[in-house]
Amino acid sequence: MVEIHQIPVLADNYIYLIHEPASKTTAAVDPALAGPVLAALNEQTWTLTHILNTHHHGDHVGGNLELKARTGCVIVGPRAERDRIPGIDVAVAEGDHFSLGEATAHIFDVPGHTRGHIAYWFPESDSLFCGDTLFAMGCGRLFEGTPEQMWRSLGKLRVLPSSTRVYCAHEYTQANGRFAVTVEPDNQTLRERMAKVDELRRRGFPTVPSKMGDELATNPFLRPESPAIRRSLGLMGANDAEVFGEIRRQKDRF
């Protein structure tokens, strides 16, 4: 089992430290900045051995080179974006495994937000690091991919155990939920979750990680087969990718 430490940075980013105690190895997931990572490592008395990047955006790789210079850590990132990941040492893709000491991550290719976006799933720790692909009650914008691609990518994640903790890279939950209730206004589970999220945010607490089971029940981007969603969009006969694409388009304009 790994220990996970959450570091809020910038307006709404999360960096995660994953610590495997048996080997004393520690990875930083998507370090936007170096300073807050170094401070957290110092506070935890952990030594950085790895960086795990999910995709090339600056608010996910901005701390790579400084952290590598200061700690000599190994940088792991998506093979399809290896020319855009600063300091990358190890390029991984779907089907590969990454070992952090005794903890093993399975790699998924999840293109859509960017062309080469990957996700790291640690099954023994029930934890998924999915960057900007799946958010609590939302999903990433399609900067470099099509709705069909993103729907296929989300399909790889939504079949993981419902107990999976979803460590996404942004605190977007409240805004996502406000949109979700417009798509599926009669989803009582969604309304109850939204009330809890509002309360957490009022008190300044994170709403991330969430549980995959809660995402399946409330995240409209994982629910295109829902008859209520299809009715509200007027897309009863469409396929799941088409419904997903329409939800994404509406969110972009929300």
Residue numbers annotated as active site: 55, 57, 59-60, 113, 132, 170
Q: According to the binding rule CB under 5 A, does residue 117 interact with Zn ion? A: no
Q: Which of 30, 132, 171, 184 binds Zn ion (CB under 5 A)?
A: 132
From the list 41-49, 125-133, 172-180, 215-223, the region that binds Zn ion by CB under 5 A is: 125-133
CA-nearest of 207, 148, 139 to 179 is 139
CB closer to Zn ion, 132 vs 171: 132
- Map the footprint of Zn ion across residues 170-199, applying CB under 5 A: none
How many binding residues for Zn ion (CB under 5 A)?
A: 2
Helix (H) or strand (E) holding 90: strand 90-92
Least distance to Zn ion from the beta carbon of 205, Å? Answer: 24
* Residues 120/98, Cβ–Cβ less than 8 Å: yes
What is the rounded CA–CA span in Å between residue 237 and residue 234?
9
- Map the footprint of Zn ion across residues 25-84, applying CB under 5 A: 57
CB closer to Zn ion, 143 vs 254: 143
What is the rounded CA–CA span in Å between residue 72 and residue 68?
5
Here the tokens at position 98 are 């990454």
Least distance to Zn ion from the beta carbon of 166, Å? Answer: 16
What is the rounded CA–CA span in Å between residue 24 and residue 122?
17
Classified as helix, coil or strand, 55 is coil
Least distance to Zn ion from the beta carbon of 59, Å? Answer: 7
Residue ranges that bind Zn ion, judged by CB under 5 A: 57, 132
